[in-house]
Structure 1
């Protein structure tokens, strides 16, 4: 296996507020900061609505109540993100799957995001899985913003 490309790490800390949509706010953050390669380093908080695509299912599964965010992991990029969420209910039962829109913050969501500025994540069709899978490239220089306001 060839040595994968490496990068320095730039970190961002943010807090989402009650009612925020976790997936939408992460996407907004990616667009605002023009992140081409990043990852969720940690996330804790709570949700009142959970929307996941469960393993080997095509549609969304929705849950309502009070849930603790146990884990949020995945990659973030302008070209596409891949995120998994695990939550626990008031009895400690856990549920997890692909993060979709519709995950509403209850009290808080505290996140640390790591940007890999020397890399670029892209989604390309894998010939074996046939899905859009992560490919990693050295970052190309960002387009110049000279003269733009």
Structure 2
């Protein structure tokens, strides 16, 4: 099942998507595409332990990732007012400025979980039949 969503000004991008996943009971889903704008951005850059926080208007150029009842794994690229582009892992704290428009594919016959992976040191995606 494919669905379109719009997040509202003031929404926390990551937290709102995680809440919608729980509210709608999506066992496995992917954000296929996302565009919009943010007032505050929180991105964890490659190999960083804490997110970088930017408090300036930015445009979302791309947003994609997985959603499950265990949480979200989202990546995003943004552009600032000078056209500089930055990207990384979406952290909590990204505040919608005007809108975020999303296309989500719900995979109703699968279940996504996050399991500790000794090789990477991160909780990694585990895909099982529903």
2:87 alignment partner in structure 1:
96
Partner SS state of residue 71, structure 2: coil
After superposition, residues 132-143 of structure 1 pair within 5 angstroms as 132-139=123-130
Partner SS state of residue 23, structure 1: helix
- Pair 1:27–1:54, CA change in 2 (3 A): same
1:147 alignment partner in structure 2:
none
- How many equivalent residue pairs? 130
> Which consecutive residues of structure 1, in runs of 5 or more, have no partner in the other structure?
1-9, 140-149
For residues 65-115 of structure 1, the C-alpha deviation after alignment (integer angstroms, 9 at most, x for no partner) is: 110001111100002321111100111111111111111111111111110
Aligned counterpart in structure 1 of residue 57 of structure 2, from 61, 66, 70: 66
Does residue 15 in structure 1 map to residue 3 in structure 2?
A: no
Partner SS state of residue 30, structure 1: helix
Q: Which has the higher strand share?
A: 2
Name segments (4+ residues, structure 1) moved above 2 Å.
none
RMSD: 1.0
1 CA distance for matches of 2:119 and 2:102? 34
> Which consecutive residues of structure 2, in runs of 5 or more, have no partner in the other structure?
none
Bigger Rg, structure 1 or 2? 1
Aligned counterpart in structure 2 of residue 85 of structure 1, from 61, 73, 76: 76
1:38 alignment partner in structure 2:
29
